[in-house]
Chain A
Amino acid sequence: MKPFTPLHGLVAPLDRANVDTDAIIPKQFLKSIKRSGFGPNAFDEWRYLDRGEPGMDCTNRPINPDFVLNQARYQGASVLLTRENFGCGSSREHAPWALEDYGFRAIIASSFADIFFNNCFKNGVLPIVLAADVVDRLFQETLATEGYCLNVDLAAQTVTTPSGEVIAFEVDGERKHRLLNGLDDIALTLQFTDQIKAYEERRRVEAAWLFA
């Protein structure tokens, strides 16, 4: 996993609540057995006017001019600003894969769905929870100012606006550590091999039916 480095990123506003992972990456693209290449199909049904299928060359597809991410001013955005319960529904990790491949490194919302939130941290994407009124204000500022960028500093746990306002956010210490350092979860867990084996030995006796 890529370490999360301080980010100065253009903000794209997706003003919808309850954006589900089916919308982030529709099911037909889940047939891929790869981990990469989902970016061109992120938000496929909102982004294009035709029906997307795996293997299509997306550069030739008709673009939906009404979809916010298609506006010229938001090209190259790396911070996604959105509303409550972002990432609800399916557990598909293809959703953060698609957002990361599209170019998003941080997502700001007033809340996230649990599984999606967890999946982001496994893929170098930082989900940031801010109060609904702060999110509201960031929407207003983003819409009012072309080229609106935010600084995201995970180490300091801050988002800084162009006017210099510093907004603090919470993040779990362990997740922060792993994301900042791009650590491999499995390698870390395997350091607990002795504890896992000891647990299994105990459970073989007290819950033998789980080890039949």
Chain B
Amino acid sequence: MNPRTLYDKLWDAHVVHQEANGTALIYIDRHLVHEVTSPQAFEGLKLSGRKLWRAKTVLATPDHNVPTCNREAGIVDVVSRTQVETLDANCAEYGLNEFRMDDSRQGIVHVIGPEQGFTLPGATLVCGDSHTSTHGAFAALAFGIGTSEVEHVLATQCLWQKKSHTMLVKVDGYLPAGVTAKDIALAIIGKIGTAGGNGYAVEFGGSAIRALSMEGRMTLCNMAIEAGARAGMVAADEKTIAYVEGRPQAPKGAAWEQAVAYWRTLHSDAGAAFDALVELDAAAIRPQVTWGTSPEMVLSVQDKVPNPADAPNPVKKTDWERALVYMGLTAGTPINQISIDKAFIGSCTNSRIEDLREAAHVARWAIAHGRKVAANVKLAMVVPGSGLVKAQAEAEGLDKDFVAAGFEWRDPGCSMCLAMNADRLEPGERCASTSNRNFEGRQGQGGRTHLVSPAMAAAAAVFGHFVDIREVMK
């Protein structure tokens, strides 16, 4: 057999039926469901009188609308509450495994899937959410779908797909201290652009990727969609297997041995051909900060806000001008002089235990240096990705570090990444955020988002403006 890429292997293992024109019917092993993109799918099933194909492949949880404080009081916003109650009712009616809002395992779909061992190497996994690419960190084929396809998967366990082109993003070398998977992700997007991965399934490889923890790989694959790629993935290795082992839904006994033997084959073969190759030198990546309204509008913390006159083409020039107006920034301003109003540490990109440890490290540094969250910062919130991440962080005492340094410690959910619950920016407010999108209005109408790593967000909260984490933590 010809050498195959990881994507080829995952694809080949899931073809149910191949049409002559290249379209294939692909089998879906795992389906994550949340409250926002599923109600219309369940409604469609009911209207057509169709049954679920295989209920056991579904794991559901409410995450977008849930409050991150005072949860005992329930959801105040009636429309949000109705959406969560609709998910509860649909899951009960169809016999689906759901972690409800009051379940200790509830959290962001992309955090709980891996945490539960629901996400497995070699599986196909979908969700009505673009950040489903996260699960590719486990050498799974994972991608976001729309609500019509959610309904399609519920009813048929399959999707019609055309095979994507393949791109290898190779990051070699050693990451400097203070530079994280988030910075790699932003540096890649800065290099190839927010449409650079359109039509591609991206595999992240190279020594710097191998060196990342599973949390780091999830952060990286999570952001693949911000480069336009529906799916991002990393080859399976011993870290992958060690992460999955012992998780509640991971295989056990003989099934585990059988699975692991297969998982060890989940890498691109030597000599496998990719349609595109992008290379980065890890040692050259510095802490990244977005300055505009697209994740591709990104620079290092040592840089200055760019001048639209320097844009590569007229369309980009207009984009940059518009972005500067929206962001309330002037060309030439050093990034590290931009002050913030709020800081948000959380989201499916950066709310796992490792992310919280990195941020808490900064909080402890602040306490040790007699500092707290700066006076000009109205709110610095830490929102763990799941109830289990929260419990783990509390067992390690991270919550106390955060609170002592002036951060708020919240309950798990998507929170201010997209502000569907009560957590949001007010018009004109500027936020250092560990989330994934700095689009206009993403964190609240008129809000200004700067995407950064957890340590960079925590440091910005402490100093009141962006700082180079490498300087602070020297």
Contacts and interface: CB of A to CB of B under 8 A. Distances in A.
A45 B151 contact: no
B83 A33 contact: yes
Interface stretch (B18-26, B96-104, B364-372): B18-26
B17 A203 contact: no
Contacts of B160: 174, 185, 189
Nearest to B154: A186
Interface stretch (B168-176, B207-215, B255-263): B255-263
B80 A31 contact: yes
Contact of A186 (B13, B151, B255): B151
B149 A122 contact: yes
Contacts of B82: 31, 33
B148 A123 contact: yes
A112 B48 CA distance: 31
B50 A186 contact: yes
A114 B156 contact: no
B418 interface: yes
Contacts of A192: 16-17, 25, 156, 158
A74 B200 CA distance: 35
B178 interface: no
Interface residues of B, number: 77
Interface string B41-58: 001000010100100000
B120 interface: yes
Most buried by A among B16, B23, B123, B152: B16
B130 interface: yes
B420 A114 contact: no
Interface string A86-110: 0011111110100000000000000
A32 B80 CA distance: 8
Contacts of B148: 93, 119, 122-123, 185
Contacts of B157: 196, 200
Interface stretch (B273-281, B394-402, B436-444): B436-444
B419 interface: yes
Interface string A162-186: 0000000000111000000000011
Given A93-B146, A115-B130, A115-B230, A186 B40 contact: no
A2 interface: no
B195 A88 contact: yes
Interface stretch (A4-12, A17-25, A143-151, A152-160): A17-25
Given A17-B316, A119-B148, A33 B43 contact: yes
A30 B16 CA distance: 33
A207 B420 contact: no
Contacts of B80: 31
Interface residues of A, number: 58
A62 to B, nearest CB: 14
A208 interface: yes
A37 B422 CA distance: 23
Given A114-B199, A195-B25, A199-B16, A26 B441 contact: yes
B251 A33 contact: no
A115 B144 contact: yes
Interface in B35-89: 36-37, 39-40, 43, 48, 50, 53, 64-65, 77, 79-80, 82-83, 86
A16 B326 CA distance: 14
A176 to B, nearest CB: 11
A186 B230 contact: no
A84 B440 contact: no
Given A119-B146, A189-B160, A34 B27 contact: no
A115 B133 CA distance: 12
A93 B147 contact: yes
B391 interface: no
A85 B441 contact: no
B145 interface: yes
B17 to A, nearest CB: 5
Contacts of A30: 36-37, 64, 420
A89 B437 contact: yes
Query: Which 5 A-B pairs rank lowest in CB-CB distance, beginning with the nearest?
Result: A93-B146, A209-B251, A33-B39, A122-B148, A85-B195
6 contacts: A17-B315, A23-B441, A85-B198, A111-B195, A196-B25, A210-B29
